Structure 1
Amino acid sequence: MTELNGRRVLVTGAAGRIGLAAVAHLHAVGAKVTALTNVEDPELKADRVLLGDTRSEADVARALEGAEYVVHLAALPHPSAGSPYDVYSVNVVSTFNVLAQAGALGIDRAVIASSINATGVPFNPHEIRPAYFPWDEKAPSDVGDWYSLSKQSDENTARMAWRRWGIDVVAFRFPHVNSQDALQQMSDHVRSNPDSGMREAWSYLDTRDAAYAIELGLTAPLSGAHTFFVTASTTIAPYATEDLLDAYMPEVPRLRRFVDREVPIDLTAVRSVLGFQAQHELDLPTLPLEH
């Protein structure tokens, strides 16, 4: 058990991929979980399940009753998940609504799902690259789609909520997050098509590690609004990272060299501030890259 034992945590988007794992994990460490979802799911391990819309002031107010912590995961998770208007407005209004109400109630801590897409790189219609490797939270962004813009806006909303109400907010820039089996299938695809993982720097995260990161985001001793890249320490590709970068992004400056399959994303912040280290990484060989 942790300091979340017996504490009430609201999880929005609770029936989503990360949501289900987060609810199960928080339940396992003793939290009392309120799950807010727009779809029913019998797998939800929550003691209080509410059907509702995170854009609704009334639904969110009801879900926040008794909550001491908030985990906001509800979103349309891809540019094609709806019209451009819907994807942007649903995501941005939901995040504002949840954080504004939580902050006004005096709730001390929230974790929200941002995305590696807040950088603008993965879904950009232009052939852009990160400014440098290892990619970090300070790198400039170049947004060319509405989903990525919504995630950038969510991070700004987190900073506003902290300044306005003093609620500490942790925003995680998640990469592709999935189950171990699905990640292994993705790795098999990347093995044959290494360039398919290029725009996310071949990063990934197991849903169980995403849930663990959320626990740390709720309990770490910090204040303010913080944004963290959070990924596995290795890539999803069975090739040496230096070989991948030489083959696919030789023009991008490297501030240091990478060992074996080390992910070319700087995880210093999430490790030093939250103490995060992924526990469920793919066991892959390091093969010669033929390009």
Structure 2
Amino acid sequence: MSSLLSGRRVLVTGAAGRIGSVTTEHLSGLGALVTALTIVEDPALKADRVVIGDTRSEEDVATALEGADLVVHLAALAHRDSGTPYDVYTGNVISTFNVLAQAGALGIGRAVVASSINAYGVPMNHHDVLPAYYPLDEKIPSDVDDWYSLSKQNDENTARMAWRHWGIDVVSLRFPHVNSPDVLRRQSDGFRTNPVAGVREGWSYLDTRDAAYAIELSLTAQLSGQHTLFVAAGTTNAPFATEDLLDAFAPRVPRLRRFAGREVPMDLTAARTVLGFQARHELDLPTDRLET
């Protein structure tokens, strides 16, 4: 397939992960030459070059970056409880610094980094807090009290530093919950019985195929600088009207506008404007009456 990525060498870190494996296959299908950097072996990886290594290792990253034109950095401990606080925080921030610093020093022109909705701190916060307003956007005030969210916030700081110091353009994608359609539908079933569980994330979600598509666009869009963008499906993963959900579970949180049907209460303007991104795989859910 002919595309803007045909023949270009793309390093994908965390290539055996949930988003990484789908992204590796997607980019390979577009004609990219994919180097997969993974800490675990996976014979199913759709990459023409595989490096088994650790993104915290300068040597392993240097080996993986050989010949790379573009970088997709997805490797991370992906939850607050994925390890000790020390391991989660240091592993994530060292990996991101190591990858971006080496890529920048090599003169690589573009990197995409997996940030998270958790970079604004509220979703994993153990205090009784809600977002400052809806829709969530890139300027929303943060309230961080866990090490994973802090690591994602500092990954975004690292991206800005790398751009300023080396001139490497970086897109940091604030992913919501990303998963396969079957898992997302099970999550939706959970929200049917316990809808309040999704209030801090605005019931946002993204199909793994759309995550890979957003990464593709981030690699090929005409842009410069460092961009932090929320990406999500345009609808919620709850089978209720968004206004009813907010009335029930966040009645005192200001709304900067109203939401139609199951419209996700997240401002996706930047992703649409900068990348031209719009999710192509949204769940077909009913809009039921919310009983509280």
Normalising by the smaller structure, the TM-score range is: over 0.9
Deviation by residue 1:111-141 (Cα, 9 ceiling, x = unmatched):
0000000000110011111111111001110
CA RMSD of aligned residues (A): 0.5
Cα deviations by residue, 1:181-231 (Å, 9 ceiling, x for unpaired): 110111111111101111211000000000000000000000001000000
**Alignment partner, residue 140 of structure 1:** 141
2:252 paired residue number: 251
Alignment correspondent of 1:241: 242
CA distance in 1, matches of 2:238, 2:69: 40
* Matching residue of 1:16: 17
User: Do structure 1's residue 287 and structure 2's residue 288 form an aligned pair?
Assistant: yes
2:124 paired residue number: 123
Q: How does 1:1-291 map to 2 (within 5 A)?
A: 1-291=2-292
Deviation at 1:289, TM superposition (A): 0.2
C-alpha distance in structure 1 between counterparts of 2:75 and 2:195, whole Å: 31
Query: Which one-letter code corresponds to 2:52 in the other structure?
Result: L
**Structure 1 position 13, deviation (Å):** 0.3
Q: 1:86, 1:251 → 2: CA distance?
A: 37
Paired residue secondary structure (1:184): helix
- Partner of 2:212, secondary structure, is helix
Question: What letter matches 1:195 in structure 2?
Answer: V
Most deviating of 61-70 and 129-138: 129-138
Matched residue type, 2:6:
N
Give the secondary structure class of the aligned counterpart of 1:76: coil
Instruction: Please list every run of 5 or more consecutive structure 1 residues that lacks an aligned counterpart in the other structure.
Output: none
Moved over 2 A (4+): none
Structure 2's unaligned 5+ residue stretches are none
Q: Percent identity?
A: 74
Cα-to-partner distance string for 1:245-287 (whole Å, 9 max, x where unaligned): 0000011100110000000000000001100000000000000
Cα distance in structure 2, aligned partners of 1:50 and 1:266: 37
The one-letter amino acid paired with 1:194 is P
Q: Aligned equivalents of 2:12 and 2:216: distance in 1?
A: 12
Q: Work out the number of aligned pairs and report it.
A: 291
AA aligned to 1:170 is: V
**Superposed CA offset, 1:4-56 (max 9, x none):** 00100000000000000100100011100000000011221000011000000
Matched residue SS, 1:45: coil
Measured in 2, the distance between the counterparts of 1:198 and 1:254 equals 13
Question: SS of the residue aligned with 2:261?
Answer: coil
SS in 1 for 2:173: strand
**How far is 1:157 from its partner?**
0.1
Q: Distance in 1 between matches of 2:54 and 2:224?
A: 29
